[in-house]
Amino acid sequence: MENTSSKKNIVQELDPLFKPKSIAIIGASQKDLSIGNVIIKNLLSYGYKGKIYPINPSMPEIRGIKAYPTIFDVPDEIDLAHVIIPSKFVPQIIEDCGKKNIKAVIINSAGFSEMGEEGMALQNEFLAIAKKYGIRIFGPNCQGIINTDPELKAYCDFTFTFPEPGGASIVALSGGVGAFIMQSLFDLEIGMSLYASNGNACDVSIPEIIEYYGEDEATKAIILYTEGLSNPKAFMKVAASVTKKKPILAMKSGRTEEGAKAAASHTGSLAGVDISTELIFEKTGILPFNNEEEMCQAAMAFSTQPIPKGNRVGVITNTGGPAVIATDELVSAGLHLSPLSERAKGKLQQTLLPEATIGNPIDVVATGGGVHFRSALDVLMEEDSIDSIFVNFVTAPFTDTDEVARNIVEVSQLKKKPIICNFMTNLSLERFQVTAKILKDGGVPCYSFPTTAAKALGALYKYSLAKNREIGLPKAYTEIDIKEAKSIIELAKLEGNTYMTSDKVFQLLSVYGLPIADWALVNNIPEAIAAAKKIGYPVVVKAESPELVHKSDKGGVAINIKNAEELQSTIEKMKSGIGIKDMKFLVQKFLIGGKELIAGISKKEGLGHLIMFGLGGIYVEVLKDVIFKIAPVTELEANEMLSSIKASKLLDGVRGQLGINKSKVTDIIQRLSKLISDFPIVEEMDLNPILAIGDDVFCVDARIKIN
């Protein structure tokens, strides 16, 4: 029920913005090239079907349209207002908009949060007024929106590209990037449904826009550009649900330190490379791109083609080299050129030219015509072992290329399996323009390079994986005594230390069912000797005191203690060497051998926590071989963490060594995740090392930072 009402809400909320029946331009201007003029010009040029009300205190008309001194002078209802006036006047105008019952406002004007404190105050001022009246604010300091619906044609923007209607929708934080992506789709002849670039994004947010696009029937694929997410939780919720319906192709820039610095300097946000956005993309099934050209090229495939059921691709070519290039890239993208059935080969033998190569790729050779391409296409359409088709088509001068194109189109329009075409031709020749038009009009996505085309098919396949990936729910672990855990943490808080003391750490781990090597906290040597006897030698001893931070540097850790004498002398040495009064000592079983693993938790403001897993020691220090996921982590995700570290083979055992007990490790990861869900007060937690010995796994040392 909640879902339904939320859907209803987002449509109701944002319809006045994206489907305005009437638009006022507050700050309409007669000055050519001014924003208050360009927007009216764009609405007119694009053929906006609603009413336009230029608002200008002194002009009777602008661009031939009757203008009004104020919005109150407009006799009709106004759905949407553009505001293009100096920032200091904006709060008053929003008050007026409220009185006029305007439901949505695009504030193009700059001079708000991007300009520092004073601007922020102004922004907060008009936002409070907007909330009072229930006005949704888009911007400020933004471009606007475009809706290409032929029944509406709302071009509420000052950009210069006039897109055709179609299946791609764009949402971009940066107007500059949004505009060139729109231009690129236009150049690639990919139709667009909606466009939004919301600048400071003080109210209408990117998650809301994505949710709205999710409900827009015309939108087949969403293209997102961002430099960081201001409300990651809201974003995740929306994204996870929308990607089940349609693909979101996204690019997050600022992936290098210098890039993040450049982003900070133009948006005023905090600098610093952040891995969380890519983790969010992964968790929610968003397709990530580091190359905006590739993203636009992929959008072309998504806008017309069905999603493949699997990774098995059939390649048809009429020239050798480009098929080799395509194969390399297809395979790199995780696709597989599966062998043809005997039946298929038989059919091809009957129908193709004698010089043809029957296999996968199928080479119909340059002299192959429409009938040969058609036969290969039909065979691949019929093969159960083929999920998608890649066509390399060079317009050989001695071929009826139009006939080839018509056959590709006919098969493509069955929409049974995606078809991607690498179309190698000279478009300055009229003859081949005709061929290109047949393919284009038939909805066949055409590329000029085999690698580019293969990458696009790779993106379709990646979306099929993301769409079908069900991560499930986190395990409940109902047996865990949360009350007891709470009392441990509250005691720790009372102690006032940033880092919990070792005994509390181990107690908490015990409550959460995390396997720990036997331990005891003791006050003196006799207690230590008694404890060690119980635990069994060899043992480890660690000095414990809130004042003692870098234990091992200060001689506060001793390993492999084999008997009582050694234990006694070790503790004596620690007492005199460290020189802190009232030290306690942690005595713990010393474990030898096994594989060192690490797991941990770190807090990410606004997002929650990240869970980390990796191989310990030099693997983490030198090879940075660790994996992060956003908490909570499900069993599937925990398994993915183990299998996606670079040295994952080590977990299975190599060089005659046995593998580790992986299910015990994934259980630890999930219990960590449960702990952090129950107690978000934990800021940081490290289990380092976790030792996997034989079939057992022990958390040997742990550190917990609370807030």
* Residues 625-644, interacting with its own copies (CB under 8 A): none
Query: Does residue 267 belong to the site contacting its own copies (CB under 8 A)?
Result: yes
Binding mask 477-506 toward its own copies (x if CB under 8 A, else -) reads: ------------------------------
Q: At what angle do helices 175-187 and 292-304 cross, to 10 degrees?
A: 50
Interface residue with its own copies, options 81, 202, 263, 571 (CB under 8 A): 263
Interface residue with its own copies, options 5, 58, 350, 428 (CB under 8 A): 428
CA angle in degrees (0–180, nearest 5) for 629-706-498? 130
Interface residue with its own copies, options 266, 343, 415, 573 (CB under 8 A): 266
Query: Phi/psi at 81 (nearest 5 deg)?
Result: -120, 135
Residue 234 or 331 having the CB closest to its own copies: 331
Interface residue with its own copies, options 59, 65, 152, 262 (CB under 8 A): 262
Q: Which residues 354-393 are close enough to bind its own copies by CB under 8 A?
A: 357, 359, 361, 363, 366
- CB under 8 Å to 663, separation ≥6 — which residues? none
Residue 138 or 506 having the CB closest to its own copies: 138
First vs last Cα of the chain: how many Å apart?
37
Total residues at interface with its own copies (CB under 8 A)? 87
Q: Which residues 164-193 are close enough to bind its own copies by CB under 8 A?
A: 172-180, 183-184, 186-187
Q: Give all strands of the β-sheet with 144-147 in edge-to-edge order.
A: 154-156, 144-147, 192-197, 165-172, 221-226, 248-252, 287-289
Smallest gap from residue 367 Cβ to its own copies (A): 10
Q: Which residues pair with residue 541 across a beta bridge?
A: 558, 587
Q: Which residues 583-622 are close enough to bind its own copies by CB under 8 A?
A: 617-618, 621-622
Residue 135 or 323 having the CB closest to its own copies: 323
Residue 476 or 622 having the CB closest to its own copies: 622
Stretch that binds its own copies, among 118-126, 285-293, 466-474, 675-683 (CB under 8 A): 285-293
CA distance 408 to 381: 12
Query: Does residue 38 belong to the site contacting its own copies (CB under 8 A)?
Result: yes
CA distance 369 to 371: 6
- 519: enclosing H helix or E strand: strand 519-522
Q: Which residues 287-326 are close enough to bind its own copies by CB under 8 A?
A: 290-293, 315, 319-325
Interface residue with its own copies, options 12, 426, 523, 643 (CB under 8 A): 426
CA distance 119 to 88: 9
Q: Which residues pair with residue 539 across a beta bridge?
A: 561, 589
Q: Which residues pair with residue 423 across a beta bridge?
A: 393
H-state helical runs in 285-368: 292-304, 320-332, 342-351
Query: Does residue 662 belong to the site contacting its own copies (CB under 8 A)?
Result: no
Query: Does residue 161 belong to the site contacting its own copies (CB under 8 A)?
Result: yes
Query: Does residue 160 belong to the site contacting its own copies (CB under 8 A)?
Result: yes
- CB under 8 Å to 32, separation ≥6 — which residues? none
Query: Does residue 398 belong to the site contacting its own copies (CB under 8 A)?
Result: yes
Query: Does residue 125 belong to the site contacting its own copies (CB under 8 A)?
Result: no
Smallest gap from residue 702 Cβ to its own copies (A): 19
Smallest gap from residue 644 Cβ to its own copies (A): 14
Interface residue with its own copies, options 452, 464, 570, 673 (CB under 8 A): 452
How many residues in the chain? 707
Smallest gap from residue 427 Cβ to its own copies (A): 8
- What is the number of other CB atoms lying within 10 angstroms of the CB of residue 12? 10
**517 to each of 438, 524, 589, 617, 696, how far by Cα in Å?**
71, 21, 6, 19, 10
Query: Phi/psi at 195 (nearest 5 deg)?
Result: -135, 140
Binding mask 201-230 toward its own copies (x if CB under 8 A, else -) reads: ------------------------x-x---
Query: Does residue 256 belong to the site contacting its own copies (CB under 8 A)?
Result: yes
The answer to whether 617 and 596 have CB atoms below 8 angstroms apart is yes
Of residues 531, 549, 548, the one with CA closest to residue 540:
531
Residue 416 or 649 having the CB closest to its own copies: 649
Smallest gap from residue 510 Cβ to its own copies (A): 29
Query: Does residue 253 belong to the site contacting its own copies (CB under 8 A)?
Result: yes
Residue 357 or 545 having the CB closest to its own copies: 357
